[in-house]
Amino acid sequence: MSVMQTSAHQGATEYRVAIDKNASWRQMAAAIDPELALCFTASARCGCFMQAARSLNIKATRLRRQLALLETQLKCSLFNPADNGLSLSRDGLRLHAQLIALAHERDLPVIEQPLIRLAVADSILHDILGRDLVALLRRNASVRLDIITLDSELSLQAVSADVVVWLGEIESPLPGPSFATAEPRRLAQLDYLPHIAKRYSRVAARPESLDDLADFLLVQWRQDCQVESFRPWNALVDQRLAGAVQLQSWELMLEMIRCSACIGLLPHYMSHFDRGLVALPGLFGQPMRRQVWMAVNADSRDNAQVGMIVELIENTFSERREWFE
């Protein structure tokens, strides 16, 4: 056999071996359990086990177990350790290529998440629930959550949601959502007091009577203007000919109290939320209180994802119970 013939024969043999290997990987890829295939492709796509787990809405430990099971079944290592994430090994690249090729031939399962609509009073979302909702999203990147802020009684009446958290009167949840709900639950009672930033008020110079407020700028959240239990505070603001600001934004009102020597009406938990603010008790003889209520849409009460949101809200208020005592 000539050198040219030998070379051609070797080339043909190598080509057939490559074909056989590809065929073998294709067969293995086609036989992989869909859930294991989904775990592998998500990890390959994200380049990070933690992010892949979040995208699949599973714990990272479970993802790692699934990938270890897949490697055991295939009898090979699919990933190489890397300083800035993870990378596919040679076998991992082959498997990934075959799974991509098979994607048009078989549909890998997609873990569909239902859209959950959560409507929350603006101040409660900002001060109490915001941090835990961020933690939820950090753990679960596949969640479908529509968060709606309630900034008025009108928005509460108009909203349609699976879970609603709002501020109402102490005795009754009415007026509440306009749609049918399960029995509303009491989450916390809030007492409201005027607050000022500590850095703008020495202890000896803090106002102790309504007359002492004459030299201070008052700031009012516009939503509070129609709250019946806030009548003493609202009357004080209304009679001002100067030195009063009304705001639509709860967050901006807090910033003005922190940074502009303003006095504003805030819930008594605010000293826990921001230790730079201090309450001014004793200015009003009549208590100013509201109740935090929660209700679940009657059509959504059995939904597992809705149950997850309800549990998060209840746990948040339970963990912060000292704020409301």
Start-to-end CA span in the chain (Å): 96
* Stated pTM of the model: 0.69
d(C-alpha 96, C-alpha 144), whole Å: 28
Using CA atoms, how far apart are residues 199 and 181, in angstroms rounded to an integer? 45
The CATH number fitting domain 3-102, selected from 3.40.47.10, 1.20.120.450, 3.90.1330.10, 1.10.10.10:
1.10.10.10
Delimit the domains of the chain by residue range. 3-102, 115-324
CB contact set of 177 (below 8 Å; sequence gap of 6+): 119, 156, 157, 159, 161, 164, 166, 295, 297
Other C-beta atoms lying within 10 Å of the C-beta of residue 187? 19
The reported pLDDT for the residue numbered 207 is 84
State the 10-residue block means of pLDDT for the chain, 325 residues long: 43 40 72 87 86 84 91 89 77 86 61 85 95 85 87 84 94 89 95 92 78 90 92 94 92 92 94 92 92 95 91 95 92
Q: What integer pLDDT is reported at residue 226 of this predicted model?
A: 86
Q: What is the DSSP letter of 180?
A: -
Tokens 């990933």, residue located? 79
**pLDDT of the residue at 18:** 40
Q: Identify the pLDDT of residue 24.
A: 80
Report whether 92 contacts 78 (CB < 8 A).
Answer: yes
Output the pLDDT for position 168.
92
To the nearest 10 degrees (0 to 180), the angle between helices 34-46 and 60-74 is 110
In the chain, helix, strand, coil percent, each to 5?
50, 20, 30
Q: Please tell me the CATH code under which domain 115-324 is placed.
A: 3.40.190.290
Residue 321's pLDDT is what?
Answer: 93
